[in-house]
């Protein structure tokens, strides 16, 4: 999906020869197929949202590159919040239950969706995949559902799954320029957790330049500096999560 981009009106972006590899012959039909895929996704996303709202559960779609620290941050999150909030995790991974297993034992309900059945493994969760995992969660008994998306900076941003908010984890090891190179993702999110700040003394990462690049593509996002190694910033992140309960989006 990453070669194609949605416009705000829901249509897919038409490509021209030389643009992303030039599907000159099949371009028009590919765009039509993509528009169908996106409209089917949005229909199911609306169904998911209705289920979340009926159940009274606030839902966050958590995205990042592979290895930025989503699961690590979630273990801290559960350790802080699971005593006071009834939390569910929908864990999306291409293969294995490794991350889902890491999130067991904190008192949260964890459901795994493996996307490996697709074309080499789907690179994102779409609304249908999320829907397929919901029956394994006690939605009516939850306050907060966090969907840990498949690690990828492109595709997950293009699929709404019915969530109330989108957040991403970004590791300081990923470079300063990624907001400019992957603007669809950085623009889509309501919050960015800048993770692994414990590593800053060992890197030549220019934090101010990164923050300025992020601000250029998304001036509205809440930015939280954190370390899932030391626990720094985790309280602020948990505050953002619990703040979702007082916001009507
Ligand atoms: N130094 C450091 N390592 C981290 C931090 N957060 C995650 N990691 C490590 O980064 C790797 C990937 O983390 P993981 O939570 O699996 O990332 P995910 O793929 O986004 O779920 C693991 O080896 C973690 O221990 C952090 O804040 N600081
Ligand atoms: Mg993970």
3-state percent breakdown (helix, strand, coil) of the chain, nearest 5: 40, 15, 45
83 Cα to the center of ligand 1, angstroms = 24
Q: Which atom of ligand 1 is nearest to the CA of 64?
A: 20
- Sheet of strand 165-171, all strands in order from the earlier edge strand to the far edge: 109-114, 87-93, 144-148, 58-63, 165-171, 191-195, 222-225
For the Cβ of 72 lying below 6 angstroms from any atom of ligand 1, the answer is yes
pLDDT for the residue numbered 119? 61
> Which of these, 90, 165, 97, lies nearest to 131 by C-alpha position?
90
CB proximity list for 228: less than 8 A, separation 6 or greater: 69, 72, 73, 75, 76, 195, 196, 234
Name the pTM for this structure. Answer: 0.90
Q: What is the pLDDT of residues 176-232, one digit of tens each?
A: 999 999 999 999 999 999 999 999 999 999 999 999 999 999 999 999 999 999 999
Q: Which domains does the chain have, with CATH numbers?
A: 48-243 (3.40.50.300)
For the Cβ of 183 lying below 6 angstroms from any atom of ligand 1, the answer is no
For the Cβ of 232 lying below 6 angstroms from any atom of ligand 1, the answer is no
For the Cβ of 6 lying below 6 angstroms from any atom of ligand 1, the answer is no
Q: What is the pLDDT of residues 102-138, one digit of tens each?
A: 999 999 999 999 988 766 678 899 999 999 999 999 9
Average predicted confidence (pLDDT) for the chain: 90
DSSP, res 244:
T
Rounded mean pLDDT of 34-39? 84
Q: What is the pLDDT of residues 137-147, one digit of tens each?
A: 999 999 999 99
pLDDT for the residue numbered 215? 98
- CB neighbours (10 Å) of residue 225? 18
């Amino acid at each position: 999906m990453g070669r194609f981009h949605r416009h705000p009106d829901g249509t897919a972006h038409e490509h021209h020869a030389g643009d992303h590899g030039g599907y000159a012959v099949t371009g028009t039909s590919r765009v039509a197929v993509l528009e169908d895929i996106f409209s089917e996704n949005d229909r199911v996303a609306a169904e998911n949202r209705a289920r979340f709202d009926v159940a009274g559960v606030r839902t966050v779609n958590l995205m990042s590159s592979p290895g930025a620290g989503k699961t690590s941050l979630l273990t801290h999150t559960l350790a802080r919040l699971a005593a006071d909030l009834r939390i569910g995790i929908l864990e999306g991974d291409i293969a294995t239950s490794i991350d889902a297993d890491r999130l067991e034992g904190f008192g949260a309900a964890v459901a795994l969706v493996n996307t490996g059945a697709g074309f080499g493994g789907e690179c994102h969760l779409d609304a249908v995949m999320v829907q397929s995992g919901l029956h394994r969660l006690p939605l009516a008994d939850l306050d907060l559902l966090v969907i840990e998306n498949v690690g990828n900076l492109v595709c997950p941003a293009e699929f709404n799954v019915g969530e109330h908010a989108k957040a991403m984890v970004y590791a300081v090891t990923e470079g300063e320029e990624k907001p400019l190179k992957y603007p669809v993702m950085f623009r889509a999110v309501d919050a960015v957790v800048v993770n692994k700040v414990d590593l800053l003394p060992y890197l030549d990462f220019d934090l101010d330049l990164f923050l300025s690049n992020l601000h250029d593509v998304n001036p509205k996002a809440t930015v939280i500096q954190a370390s899932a190694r030391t626990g720094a910033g985790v309280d602020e992140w948990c505050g953002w999560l619990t703040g979702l309960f007082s916001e009507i989006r």
